[in-house]
Each structure stands twice: as C-alpha cells, then as structure tokens.
C-alpha cells in the first residue's frame, strides 16, 4: 500500500522530518540494507587482509594501488550523473500517474446527456460507463503486475462483471496481433451513435461532447501503454549503475587505512587517524547508493513495491463511483430552495473556536496597499497632462529628437516638405539670422502670395507638438538672451497702388 505521511508534515516544526526517520515501510533502510551490508562486509574483509595477512612488501604494493584508487574516485561525476537521472525518473513517474484514466468527467457527461428513466435508458448509461471501465482494466492488466494477478484470464473479467459472455465472444473473435484495449471504446462510440438515433441523446452537440470525453479517456489509456512500451534508454540506466558500482569498488580499496611506507616519513608528517569504521565513506555509500535505489523503485510504479500505485484500489473506486453517478444519481436531485444567505448582502460562514483567530487577520488587498506615501500635500496634487508643457530630455536624447524627423511628417506630408522648409527659414530670418535662401529680387506680389499660402497651410494643418517645440528650443539653445529685432511685414499691394504705379509709368 502507498505510504502516506502528508499529515505528519502539514505544519513545519522543530525536528519535523526527524520523526519520519524511524519508519520502516517505504523507507530507504528497507531498500538499501542488503547492499549496505555487502559493502561493509567487503570493506571489513579487505581491511583484515591488509592489516593481518599481507607481508611488508605486499603492503607497499597495496598502498600504491589504494592511493591510485582513491585518486580515481574524483574522476567519476557521481553528482551530475545521478542527479540528472533521478530527475528524469521522477518526472516520468508523476507523468505516469497523471495518465491513469479516471472516469469522473466521462460519467458526468453520460449522466447529463443520455436521457431516459426507463429500463432501456438505465441499461444504456450503465453499458456506456462499463465499457469505459473495461478499457481501463484491460490496459492496467497489461502494465501492472498487481492487476494481472487479480485478473489473470478473460474469465476473471467476466466473473467480475466488467464484460458479459456475449461481449467476450465478440472481443475474442476480433483477431489482432496488438493489444486490444481499444475495442470497448469502439463499442462505446457505436452505442452512443445509436442512442443519438433513438433520441436518447437529444442533439449533435451532446453527442460531440460525449465522444470528446471518451477520446480524452482513451488517450490516457494509450499513454499508459506507451509509457510501458517506451522505457528510458537502457544505455543511460547502465551508465548510472556502472558509475555507482565502480565508484564504490574504488572506495572499498582506496578508503582503507594505510600505513606509511617509511618509518621516517611517519615521524615527519602527521599520520591519519586509524578508524576501523569509515564513517564518511559509509555515509557516502548511503547517499549515492540510496539515490540509485530511489530511481530503481519508481522507474516502474506499476509493480508491487511499497510506494507503487494502488491500481487495484483505483479499479474498485472507479467502477463504484461511475455506476452510482450514471444510475442511482440520474435525475435524483435534492429539493432546491433559498439558501441561508438569501437576505444577506455579504455571506460570512461561521468559524469554530479553533479557527476564530483567523477572522482577526486582515484580508490581502495587494502588496502596495499599506505603502506609506509622502506627507507633502503638493506631491498629491493632480496635474493635467498638456502638450504645451515642456518635456524633459537628456542632452543625448534631445539631440536625437531634434535631429530625427517624425515618421508622420516624412511620409504623410512628404509633398509639402518644401513649404515647411520655407516656414522654418522664415522663422530664422525673423529672429535676426541671415537667411540661407533669401528671396532676393522677388516682387511684392510674389512675396505676398507665398506668405498667404503659408498662412493657409498653417491654418489648415496645425503642426505637431514636437514640431512646435523644436524650433523655439533650437533658437533658445543657439542664441541665448538676445534683443528684440524689428519685425518687417510685407503687405500685399492693393489695386489702387497698382493703378497709381501704372499711371506713373
């Protein structure tokens, strides 16, 4: 049976895990004690042989061999090899558990979509859920030793009520070289289609929902079959096993107590403490070999180890719960009425005395809810965002912003770029700078017409905020404080002045 200790570690306390060290069932001691005993016996036999049976010359040779073996242990990456392997095994172990088919979703869909309180409707619902359970039993029988021992032949399945004699004949009449766990799923789909034709399933949407849930159920059965078929590559398991065994083979020889080769050397340098029991080496064996035994236990959780999956219990639970949901609970509803909090705006369930202290704890409203703000009232005043407010830019960013043209100006108003350029030159000319393109020789009519067109453009197309801010900023940055220069305005000549000039000519 699965060893569960979840309640023991519900609350963190002093020495919480220490209480779990003295349990035998499902423990590492139960898995490792035989290998540990063999390692201790080999180490003790080799130690006695070195201390009592070898001659001085033989001891010298053994010391060189032991030193070589001790240096060789550093060349085996035990932590990397074992860590990656066990991580892979644990992920696979949990994925296999989540692939076990459970009929909970399927039985709810059957109970809500397959209608009929008569005997035919009852037989229809029970047959559908029985086919689903039969498919899971067939796949678990193929991967789990416990289930196979419980149902060794098809006669045991008939006797257990998962299939009838007629269904067994149909099942055995279909010849296939592969596993036939999928046959009850096909029976399910055909029976569901017949129920739709008979009106037991009232629309195609309900039939589609029923088939989709069955496909999810069948997919989990298929995943269990593939997990059993496709194992972790054997070469990886062999590499890890050889690495662990070779490491401790070197430790048996290299971790022995060694006498110095020369008596003078013994007086010059400190001699290692002679421990008849190598505690650190034994702990190292316990950790590394125990890690390997953990992977060995959970690489196939469908066996009969202490922590393997309780597949027989799952079969019993699934059959009982599913039949209750589709038969006894079909349209068997309790009376509905007003609940206890009908006239209350805020529902507040009561607490017991043991949990009353939890009501004094404030609710979590967010990590910044209790953050203290500045006491200065000016910091809390709201300021409306306005395009006329100057924006703060760093010198480097300001250089890029003033130098680069707006994409809207360069693409959308590409045809009017010459007018914008004339407008910019005119601003510079009014500020006192010599114009790079003076309008020398232009008559008053031409100047007035150009200025009138620029005025119309400015009135019809207001410049962007970036354009309005760039020109004054550049002028202020380049000029600094300057005097006001007189502005020269060119008026458009009137008709009377033109007639006077013509008469004078």
Residue 325 is classified by DSSP as I
Using one digit for the tens of pLDDT, what is the confidence trace for 114-155? Answer: 999 999 999 999 999 999 999 999 999 999 999 999 999 999
Cα(288)–Cα(363) distance, integer angstroms: 47
- What's residue 428's pLDDT? 42
- What's residue 19's pLDDT? 85
Domain annotation covers residue 407:
no
Domain annotation covers residue 125:
yes
Domain annotation covers residue 222:
yes
Displacement of CA 70 from its chain's centroid (Å): 42
Separation in Å, CA 262 to CA 24, 50, 269: 49, 17, 11
When divided into structural domains, the chain yields a total of: 1
- What's residue 289's pLDDT? 94
Cβ proximity of 240 and 126 under 8 Å: no
Domain annotation covers residue 489:
no
H-helix or E-strand containing 184? helix 183-197
Phi, psi (5° rounding) for residue 76? -100, 115
Cα(99)–Cα(193) distance, integer angstroms: 27
Q: Using alpha carbons, select from 149, 125, 229, 111 the residue that is nearest to residue 181.
A: 229
Taking the chain (505 residues) in consecutive chunks of 10 residues, what is each chunk's mean pLDDT? 83 86 90 94 93 89 92 91 94 96 96 95 97 97 96 96 95 94 97 96 96 97 96 95 95 87 57 76 94 94 92 96 95 92 91 88 85 80 69 56 48 45 42 45 49 51 45 42 49 53 52
* Start-to-end CA span in the chain (Å): 124
> What tokens were used for 295?
């992977």
Domain annotation covers residue 414:
no
Domain annotation covers residue 186:
yes
| CB proximity list for 400: less than 8 A, separation 6 or greater | none
Domain annotation covers residue 22:
no
- What's residue 491's pLDDT? 53
- What's residue 114's pLDDT? 96
| CB proximity list for 231: less than 8 A, separation 6 or greater | 299
Q: At what angle are helices 234-254 and 56-72 packed, to 10 degrees? A: 140
Cβ proximity of 78 and 249 under 8 Å: no
Domain annotation covers residue 170:
yes
Instruction: Give the domain extent around 176.
Output: 102-229
């Amino acid at each position: 049976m699965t060893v569960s200790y979840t309640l023991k570690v519900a609350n963190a306390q002093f020495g919480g895990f220490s209480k779990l060290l003295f349990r035998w069932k499902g423990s590492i001691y139960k898995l490792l004690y035989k290998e540990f005993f063999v390692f201790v016996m080999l180490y003790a036999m080799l130690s006695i042989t070195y201390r009592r049976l070898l001659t001085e010359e033989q001891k010298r040779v053994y010391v060189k061999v032991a030193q070589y073996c001790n240096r060789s242990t550093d060349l085996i990456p035990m932590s990397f090899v074992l860590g990656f392997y066990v991580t892979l095994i644990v992920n696979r172990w949990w994925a296999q558990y989540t692939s076990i088919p459970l009929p909970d979703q399927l039985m709810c869909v059957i109970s809500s979509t397959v209608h009929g309180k008569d005997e035919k409707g009852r037989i229809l619902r029970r047959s559908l859920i029985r086919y689903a359970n039969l498919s899971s039993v067939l796949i678990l029988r193929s991967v789990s030793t416990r289930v196979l021992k419980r149902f060794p032949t098809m006669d045991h399945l008939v006797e257990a009520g998962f299939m009838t004699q007629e269904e067994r004949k149909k099942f055995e009449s279909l010849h296939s070289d592969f596993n036939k766990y999928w046959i009850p799923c096909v029976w399910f789909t055909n029976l569901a289609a017949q129920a739709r034709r008979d009106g037991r399933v009232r629309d195609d949407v309900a039939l589609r929902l029923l088939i989709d849930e069955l496909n999810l159920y069948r997919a989990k059965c298929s995943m269990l079959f593939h997990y059993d078929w496709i194992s972790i590559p054997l070469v990886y398991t062999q590499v890890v096993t050889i690495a662990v065994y070779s490491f401790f083979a070197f430790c048996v020889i290299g971790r022995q107590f060694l006498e110095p080769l020369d008596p003078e050397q013994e007086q010059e340098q400190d001699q290692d403490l002679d421990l008849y029991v190598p505690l650190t080496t034994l702990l190292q064996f316990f950790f590394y070999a125990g890690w390997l035994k953990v992977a060995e236990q959970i690489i196939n959780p469908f066996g009969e180890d202490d922590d393997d999956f309780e597949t027989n219990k799952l079969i019993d639970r699934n059959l009982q719960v599913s039949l209750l949901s589709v038969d006894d609970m079909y349209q068997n509803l309790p009376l509905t009425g007003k609940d206890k909090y009908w006239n209350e705006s805020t529902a507040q369930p009561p607490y017991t005395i043991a949990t009353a202290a939890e009501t004094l704890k404030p609710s979590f409203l967010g990590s910044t809810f209790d953050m203290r703000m500045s006491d200065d009232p000016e910091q809390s005043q709201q300021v409306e965002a306005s395009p006329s407010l100057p924006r703060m830019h760093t010198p480097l960013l300001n250089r890029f912003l003033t130098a680069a043209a707006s994409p809207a100006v360069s693409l959308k108003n590409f045809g009017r770029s010459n007018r914008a350029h004339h407008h910019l030159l005119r601003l510079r000319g009014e500020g006192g700078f010599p114009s790079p393109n003076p309008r020398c020789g232009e008559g008053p009519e031409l100047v007035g017409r150009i200025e009138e067109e620029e005025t119309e453009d400015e009135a019809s197309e207001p410049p962007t905020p970036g354009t309005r801010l760039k020109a004054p900023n550049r002028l202020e940055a380049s000029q600094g404080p300057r005097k006001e220069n007189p502005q020269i305005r060119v008026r458009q000549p009137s008709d009377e002045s033109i007639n006077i000039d013509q008469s004078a000519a």
